Amino acid sequence: MRFTRLIEHRFGKERAALYEAEVEHLVEHGYVRRELGDFLETYARPLGIYDLLSMFSRSKLSVEDLEKSLVFLLSRHITIAKNLSKALKLGSRILDVGCGRGLVTCSLALKGFEVHGTDISADALKIAEKLAHKLNCKPTFHLTEPDALPFPSAYFDAALSIWTLHEIPPDRIPKLFTELHRTLRKMGNVFIIDQEGVMPMEIVKNAMSQAGFKLDSEESLLPVYDHGKASKALMLRYVRE
């Protein structure tokens, strides 16, 4: 419970609920809850200290910039849900591609959107379902291939890809964007947030253009350190033509 309170205080109730869902998932797979708690109490802080010192050595970021990076990475679901609430009508139907453990998906569902999350990991989606239950929200999760979306044409008002594209083989990205174009209504938006230098953005831009999307805006969010690399988080907003 102490870790739950600490996480909620710093990164919000959704992130704290995800911590609890992760623990429950491990318990269901044979781990003992008390042993996990004792292990985290003993090792989480010293391990975190050494990891953070390594981040400074590798990233060369200032204390201020590294703090901003970690806050963004751990609480981006809050910022994304807040920004999309301003950009989209209440009740809009949103697709979250590569939703993982469902943190962004659930955050949007809590804002009153109809959200569908897709991922290739059955384990991640099991945790996402637990998270949705804990937060008392009702997104829908789908186990899919990254470039095969099981939805009708023009089904969604908007789509998201948050820190996901770098995990998809480059040769499958054009097919994914073609599927996004098919399942998105005309003039619907696609929001892509990923790390410059980890995801080759020129590949993204070329493939989105070929799929029939128009770049509406490009924003450099802040310096980040992730995947062993210091660069910038970028947000691209596209319109389906």
Q: What is the pLDDT of residues 56-83, one digit of tens each?
A: 998 888 999 999 889 888 888 988 888 8
What is the pLDDT at residue 147?
A: 80
Q: Which of 204, 197, 198, 229 is nearest to 218 (CA)?
A: 204
What is the pLDDT at residue 202?
A: 87
CATH 3.40.50.150 boundaries in the chain? 59-240
Q: One-letter amino acid identity for 93?
A: R
Alpha carbons 15 and 17: distance in angstroms, whole number: 5
Give residue 100's pLDDT band: very low, low, confident or very high (50, 70, 90).
Answer: very high
* Average pLDDT of the residues in 120-141: 96
* Average pLDDT of the residues in 162-180: 90
Q: One-letter amino acid identity for 78?
A: I
Q: Which of 132, 130, 129 is nearest to 108 (CA)?
A: 132
Concatenate the DSSP letters of all residues of 193-230 into one string.
Answer: EEEBTTB-HHHHHHHHHHHTEEEEEEEEEEEEEETTEE
Q: What is the pLDDT of residues 26-43, one digit of tens each?
A: 999 999 999 999 999 999
Alpha carbons 69 and 237: distance in angstroms, whole number: 21
Within 8 A by CB and 6+ apart from 83, the residues are none
What is the pLDDT at residue 1?
A: 63
The alpha carbons of the chain give a radius of gyration, in whole angstroms, of: 18
Exposure on the CB side of residue 178, measured as CA atoms within 13 A: 8
Residue 118 or 171, more confident: 118
The correct answer on CATH 3.40.50.150 for the domain covering 59-240 is yes
Judged by average pLDDT, the poorest of 145-149, 159-163, 177-181 is: 145-149
Is 90 exceeded by the pLDDT of residue 199? no
- Take residue 137 and report the two structure tokens written for it: 């929200």
* Average pLDDT of the residues in 92-108: 95
CB 144 within 8 A of CB 118: yes
Taking the whole predicted model, whether its pTM rises above 0.85 is answered as yes
Give percent of the chain with pLDDT exceeding 70. Answer: 100
